[in-house]
Structure 1
Amino acid sequence: MIRAGILFSTLSIFPAIFGWYQVWLGLTPAQEINLAIALVVSFLWITELFPLYVTGFLVLFLELIWLIPSWGPGAPKTITFLSCYFSETILLFLGGFVISSAISFYGLDATIASFVIKKTKGSAFLLVLSLGFATAFLSCFMNNTATAAMMLGLVSSMMKSLEETSPLRKSILFMVPFSANLGGIGTPVGTLPNVIGLAYLQEKGFHIGFLDWMVFAFPVFLLSVLALSGILYIVYLKKEKENSSLHLIGIQEETFAHPQKKRMISVVVILVTILGWVSSDWHGISNGTIALFPVIVFFGFSLLDLQEFKKLSWDVLILMGGGIALGKAFEETGLAKHFVSIFLLGESGQLGLFLFFSLLSLFLSCFLSNTSVANLILPITMGLPGELILPAAIGATIGASLAMPLPVSTPPNALAFSYGGIRSLEMVKIGGSISIVAWILFTVVGGFLLHQMQIVDFSQF
């Protein structure tokens, strides 16, 4: 794999050194170097030959030592790319990480999940449904993989009492990862593609508020989880005799020794932060600035300690910075607009591009990480004419999170698959079905809400 990586990188950079991309594709020198960098880092992101955050640093390194020095007159300053690694969007996601850490540290996730699951009163279908909604809700603010791991751990003792062929066990192993994926689209901080998409849009002067995002995304993921429950009932749960092998006393709970006072303060801080994000359009304070509030309070007042600070996903923030910096290069060099003109994408309407880019993202995310897909496709959408950028970018952003047919499609899928008892073909059947249904719900319900909110205009195809 290392040899393949070296060979591909060499083949990507070699034509740029001799100006062949300029001849083949009609690029400027800066665009040619930008393309070579994009090819190299895209290959590394897809293959994960290097850790993803290292590739994030590589983007900046190549831009500073190769792209800018070779640019000539009108070259951007280094701060143009450096600022991508600590931008408003990075602050927003940092605040989300801190909230996620606090939820896990004080056991708020397990408390919420246990409460919801225990209200199912012995019904297998209600258990799966409530498990899905609890997982999706937590995934709106927590890392999808961490949420799936926590929820599976919560019901692991119960699953041990079920045979591997049990319809209930299969339903749980499908519901948890899929609802974790779906819940990620619910808020701007729910999953990486959301934040990356918002970063690109903000660079172009488009602003979608926290509440505006939730207005169109929340109904989509709620209906998708409900649809997933229906699919699982039809395929598995209607075969399960009511109350057979369902003993809620088997749900595994954790006990936390943290003072009740600190837990309550943590809840208040989280709620105030979320309220601040939701009402940002009213008070005018940016979401990134609001995200500093939980960071300062949790660590400043020792609600979280230095060890929790060190455990924050700094590698993910560097990865995001690399993706944003690559997109910034696409914008500055004009490479995105060049690709748009080549493929005649600028001649389509808002609805057509919304459907096209959402489908393209969904298809690619079946085989690649949704973060890689967002980093690959979103820069291209930024080259579209102004009125077409928003629908194309939203479609690409959400579409990247809707693909879940394979064990390798998302980390939560792989985690659930590792428990055993489900076959790849079964995951393709259930995951493929909900991917299609979720895409339809997104394009119909989400598209309708976006149009009604006048964020996009779908009056013409």
Structure 2
Amino acid sequence: MIRAGILFSILSVFPAIFGWYQDWLGLTPAQEINLAIALVVSFLWVTELIPLYVTGFLVLFLELIWLIPGWGPGAPKTIVFLSCYFSETILLFLGGFVISSAISSYGLDAAIARFVIKNTNGSAFLLVLSLGFATAFLSCFMNNTATAAMMLGLVSSMMKSLDETSPLRKSILFMVPFSANLGGIGTPVGTLPNVIGIAYLQEKGFQIGFLDWMAFVTPVFVFSVFALSGILYIVYLRMEKSIQSIRFIQMQEEDISISSPKRKLSILVIGITIFGWITSDWHGVSNGTVALFPVIVFFGSSLLDLKEFRNLSWDVLILMGGGIALGKAFEETGLAKHFVGMFMLGESSQFGLFLFFSILSLLLSCFLSNTSVANLILPITMGLPSDLILPAAIGATIGASLAMPLPVSTPPNALAFSYGGIRSFEMVKIGGSISIVAWTLFVIVGGLILNQLQIVDFSNF
């Protein structure tokens, strides 16, 4: 694999050195270098030949030592690319990481999950449905993989009492990862593609408020979780309607070493932050600035300590910065517009591009990570005419998170698959079905709300 990576990198860079991309594709020197960099880092993101965050640094390195020097007159200053690594969007996601850390540190995630699961009244269907909504809700603010791992851990003792062929066990192993994926689209900080998409849009001057985002996405993932529950009931749970005879998960509260006042203060800080995000359109303070509040309060008041600070996902922030910097290069060099012109995408309608990019992202995300897909596709949407950017970017962003048919499609899928008892073709059947349903709901329900909110204009199909 390493040899293949070196070979691909050489083959990508070699034509740029001799100006062949200019002859083949009609590019400028800066666009040619930009294309070579994009090919190399995209390959590394897709194959994960080196850690993703290292590739994030590599983007900046190549832009500073190759792109800017080879640009010629009119080259941007280095700060244009350096600022991508600590932008408004990075601050927003940093705040999300801190909230996620607090939720885990103070046992709030487990408390929510236990409360929901405990009230299922012995019904297998209600247990699975409750697991789905608890997982989806937590995934709106926590890492999808961490949420799936926590929820599966909560029911692991129950699953041990079930045979691997048990319909209930299979249903749990499908519900948890798929609802984690679905819940991730629910807020701007729910998953990496959301943040990457918002970052690109902000660079182009488009602002989607926290509340507006939730307004068009929340119905999509809520209906999708209901639909997933229906699918699992039809396929599995009709054969196992009761869990009265099963040794159920112990629901006693775990001992929390943190004092109750600190726990209550953490809930207050999280609540104020979420309220600040939701009402950002009213008070005028940007979401990134609001995100600084939990960072300062949690670490300034010792609600979280230096260990938690060091354990934040700084690697993910660097990865995001690399994706934003690559997109910035596409914008500055005009490479995105060049590709849009080549494929005549600028002649399509808003709804047509909304459909096209959502389908393209979904199909690619079946085999690639949704973060890689977002980094690959979103730069192209930025080259569209200004009135077409928003629907295309939203379609690409959400579409990347709706692909769930394979164990490799998302980390939560792989985690659930590792528990054993489910086969690939079963995941393709259930995951493929909910991917189609969720995409359909996104296009119809999400598209209708987007149009009603006048964020997009789908009046002309």
* TM-score between the two structures when normalised by the length of structure 1: 0.99
- Contact 1:170 1:422 survives alignment (8 Å): yes
Please name the residue that 1:398 is paired with.
398
Please name the residue that 1:123 is paired with.
123
Counterpart of 1:70 in 2: which secondary structure?
A: coil
Please name the residue that 2:384 is paired with.
384
Please name the residue that 1:315 is paired with.
315
Please name the residue that 2:104 is paired with.
104
Counterpart of 2:69 in 1: which secondary structure?
A: helix
Distance 1:392 1:241 in 2: 43
- Contact 2:99 2:141 survives alignment (8 Å): yes
In the alignment, structure 1 residue 420 sits paired with structure 2 residue 387: no
Q: Could you tell me which amino acid in structure 2 is paired with residue 326 of structure 1?
A: L
Please name the residue that 1:372 is paired with.
372
Q: Which runs of 5 or more residues in structure 2 are unaligned?
A: none
Distance 1:102 1:123 in 2: 32
Please name the residue that 2:4 is paired with.
4
Please name the residue that 2:345 is paired with.
345
- Deviation string, structure 1 residues 349-368 (Cα, Å, up to 9, x no partner): 00000000000000000000
- Deviation string, structure 1 residues 420-461 (Cα, Å, up to 9, x no partner): 000000000000000000000000000000000000000112
Distance 1:37 1:245 in 2: 59
Deviates more, 1:233-242 or 1:102-111: 233-242
Offset at residue 246 of structure 1 (A): 3.8
Work out the number of aligned pairs and report it: 461
Distance 1:246 1:341 in 2: 61
Q: Could you tell me which amino acid in structure 2 is paired with residue 243 of structure 1?
A: I
- Contact 2:358 2:395 survives alignment (8 Å): yes
Please name the residue that 1:431 is paired with.
431
- Contact 2:155 2:249 survives alignment (8 Å): no
- Contact 2:56 2:322 survives alignment (8 Å): yes
Distance 2:61 2:144 in 1: 30
- Contact 1:158 1:251 survives alignment (8 Å): no
Distance 2:101 2:173 in 1: 24
Please name the residue that 1:410 is paired with.
410
- Contact 1:131 1:175 survives alignment (8 Å): yes
The 1:71/1:106 distance shift into structure 2, 3 A limit, reads same
- Deviation string, structure 1 residues 269-312 (Cα, Å, up to 9, x no partner): 00000000000000000000000000000000000010000000
* TM-score between the two structures when normalised by the length of structure 2: 0.99
Counterpart of 2:83 in 1: which secondary structure?
A: helix
- Contact 2:366 2:404 survives alignment (8 Å): yes
In the alignment, structure 1 residue 167 sits paired with structure 2 residue 167: yes
Q: Which runs of 5 or more residues in structure 1 are unaligned?
A: none
Distance 1:227 1:89 in 2: 32
Counterpart of 2:408 in 1: which secondary structure?
A: coil
- Contact 1:161 1:245 survives alignment (8 Å): no
- Contact 1:162 1:245 survives alignment (8 Å): no
Please name the residue that 1:146 is paired with.
146
The 1:454/1:241 distance shift into structure 2, 3 A limit, reads closer
Aligned 1:230-309 pairs, distance under 5 A? 230-243=230-243, 245-250=245-250, 254-309=254-309
Please name the residue that 1:21 is paired with.
21
The 1:355/1:245 distance shift into structure 2, 3 A limit, reads farther
The 1:359/1:189 distance shift into structure 2, 3 A limit, reads same
Distance 2:376 2:251 in 1: 41
Offset at residue 245 of structure 1 (A): 4.1
- Contact 1:404 1:410 survives alignment (8 Å): yes
Distance 2:384 2:245 in 1: 55
Please name the residue that 2:158 is paired with.
158
- Contact 1:154 1:252 survives alignment (8 Å): no
Counterpart of 1:248 in 2: which secondary structure?
A: coil
Q: Could you tell me which amino acid in structure 1 is paired with residue 351 of structure 2?
A: L
Distance 2:157 2:364 in 1: 36
Q: Could you tell me which amino acid in structure 1 is paired with residue 329 of structure 2?
A: A
Q: Could you tell me which amino acid in structure 2 is paired with residue 83 of structure 1?
A: S
Deviates more, 1:26-35 or 1:237-246: 237-246
The 1:376/1:245 distance shift into structure 2, 3 A limit, reads farther
Sequence identity, in percent?
A: 85
Please name the residue that 1:361 is paired with.
361
Offset at residue 247 of structure 1 (A): 4.2
In the alignment, structure 1 residue 182 sits paired with structure 2 residue 182: yes
- Deviation string, structure 1 residues 360-395 (Cα, Å, up to 9, x no partner): 000000000000000000000000000000000000
Counterpart of 1:69 in 2: which secondary structure?
A: coil
Q: Could you tell me which amino acid in structure 1 is paired with residue 305 of structure 2?
A: D
Please name the residue that 2:51 is paired with.
51
Distance 2:93 2:25 in 1: 37
Please name the residue that 2:226 is paired with.
226
- Deviation string, structure 1 residues 142-172 (Cα, Å, up to 9, x no partner): 0000000000001101111111000000000
Please name the residue that 1:207 is paired with.
207
Offset at residue 257 of structure 1 (A): 1.2
Offset at residue 243 of structure 1 (A): 2.9
Q: Could you tell me which amino acid in structure 2 is paired with residue 421 of structure 1?
A: G
- Contact 2:157 2:249 survives alignment (8 Å): no
Aligned 1:74-85 pairs, distance under 5 A? 74-85=74-85
Counterpart of 2:256 in 1: which secondary structure?
A: coil
Distance 1:52 1:296 in 2: 28
Distance 1:252 1:56 in 2: 43
Distance 2:253 2:379 in 1: 44
Offset at residue 251 of structure 1 (A): 5.1
Distance 1:43 1:187 in 2: 29
- Deviation string, structure 1 residues 1-55 (Cα, Å, up to 9, x no partner): 1100000000000000000000000000000000000000000000000000000
Distance 2:125 2:246 in 1: 10
The 1:14/1:252 distance shift into structure 2, 3 A limit, reads farther
Distance 1:289 1:250 in 2: 41
Counterpart of 2:68 in 1: which secondary structure?
A: helix
- Contact 2:133 2:179 survives alignment (8 Å): yes
Offset at residue 249 of structure 1 (A): 4.3
Q: Could you tell me which amino acid in structure 2 is paired with residue 427 of structure 1?
A: M
Please name the residue that 2:331 is paired with.
331
- Deviation string, structure 1 residues 227-258 (Cα, Å, up to 9, x no partner): 00000000000011423544434458643211
- Contact 2:30 2:333 survives alignment (8 Å): yes
Please name the residue that 1:452 is paired with.
452
Counterpart of 1:72 in 2: which secondary structure?
A: coil
Q: Could you tell me which amino acid in structure 2 is paired with residue 140 of structure 1?
A: C
Q: Could you tell me which amino acid in structure 1 is paired with residue 79 of structure 2?
A: I
